DNA sequence: TCTTATTTAATAATTGTTACAAATTTAAAA
DNA sequence: TTTTAAATTTGTAACAATTATTAAATAAGA
């Protein structure tokens, strides 16, 4: 099953009409490794769907978050960014490149989950958690900053 | 020493002229428990300093981050928010109230720090980390959602 | 096919933020 | 103290990201 077929199936599962626009937008976010902004999604899908509108991208992304097909990711610069990966995972924020990289680690998840279970937080129904690691990307060979 | 005196001292320490505006803005962020937006800081300081300008609040907050007097905190809605607390600490994001609460826990910090030391991340110079806990605030008595 | 509801495209409006120039304040020099 | 220059602030304009609006297009059902 290709990515569009998969998107179509997901859309119908949550009760959304599987329009062309929704399918390509969902596929774009899910394939993306970059935690893309609405603008980035727009530029990507526009290549094969030149008539698609930026407003539609904004609206559709919000609908997808509502339906739990994708999630929002927090970004320092105040731009909206989305994440096709659901479930608990962690993020590395590069202070120099502004990239947001996924950092998946089962051991870390277990570690935190166990901690949270032990240390009950009053009056809070925990939904998800994510470790945000802020650091500087360095060049592996020369140990200098990457621009 | 009152909070304004303390702010004055901090400002001179980092080489900034301790103007009235800077002192009250710094004191406002440091006293705030809410991770305030620029607008919120503005409303707060405006009470006793009616002639202060919103632009000054924006500029000054950025200067403070630059000088490491305060830090930015990531917010989902794309608004800028600031944090008078430096150093590694964690945040609880309430999905229903939109509050961002501090969650300080020495044990958790050690846990994560030890993990990160053990599990070296390639080509990354880690600066700080923070656990984001997303959850729903519930009423302690009746176990229903707080609005 | 006809009818109706849903979705989209195009564009206008709004919002949060930044840029700017004139006015004010501060600090230093004379 | 006055003079001068630099730094800061104010008030407002500009900007960019997002949201709202509305007419056209599309899809589904009768
Ligand atoms: Mn995040
Ligand atoms: Mn914005
Ligand atoms: Zn991610
Ligand atoms: Zn905090």
Minimum Cα–Cα distance from B126: chain A residue: A135
Judge if B28 and B74 occupy the same domain: yes
Show residues of chain B in contact with A108, CB under 8 Å: 112, 115, 119
We report the CATH number of the domain holding residue A44 as: 1.10.10.10
Residue A122's domain comprises 90-135
Q: Does the distance separating the beta carbons of B129 and A136 come in below 8 Å? A: no
We report the CATH number of the domain holding residue A108 as: 3.30.1490
Handedness of CA A5, A31, B93, A124 (dihedral sign): positive
CA of A77 to the centre of ligand 3 (A): 17
Judge if B124 and B78 occupy the same domain: no
CA of B80 to the centre of ligand 2 (A): 9
Domain annotation covers residue A123: yes
Q: State the count of interchain CB pairs (< 8 A) between A and B.
A: 110
Judge if B74 and B97 occupy the same domain: no
Nearest to A134 among B129, B137, B140 (CB): B129
Judge if A39 and A77 occupy the same domain: yes
Q: Could you read off the pLDDT of A58-117 as tens digits, one per residue?
A: 999 999 999 999 999 988 877 899 999 998 999 999 888 888 999 999 999 999 999 999
Split into its structural domains, chain A has a count of 2
Nearest to A112 among B124, B127, B131 (CB): B131
pTM of the entire structure? 0.88
Q: What's the pLDDT score for residue A30? A: 96
Q: What is the pLDDT along chain B (147 residues), one digit of tens a residue?
A: 788 999 999 999 999 999 999 999 999 999 999 899 999 999 999 999 999 999 999 999 999 999 999 999 988 877 899 999 998 899 999 888 888 999 999 999 999 999 999 998 989 999 999 999 999 988 766 555 544
């Amino acid at each position: 099953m290709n990515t569009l077929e998969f998107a179509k199936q997901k859309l119908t599962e949550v009760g959304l009409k599987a329009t062309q626009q929704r399918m390509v937008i969902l596929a774009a976010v899910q394939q993306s490794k970059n935690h893309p902004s609405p603008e980035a999604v727009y530029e990507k899908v526009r290549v094969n769907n030149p008539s698609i509108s930026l407003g539609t991208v904004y609206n559709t992304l919000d609908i997808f978050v509502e339906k739990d097909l994708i999630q929002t990711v927090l970004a320092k610069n105040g731009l909206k960014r989305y994440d096709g990966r659901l479930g608990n995972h962690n993020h590395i924020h590069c202070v120099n490149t502004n990239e947001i990289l996924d950092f998946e680690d089962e051991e870390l998840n277990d570690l935190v989950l166990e901690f949270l279970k032990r240390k009950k937080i009053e009056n809070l129904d925990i939904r998800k958690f994510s470790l945000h690691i802020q650091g500087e990307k360095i060049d592996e060979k020369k140990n200098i900053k990457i621009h």
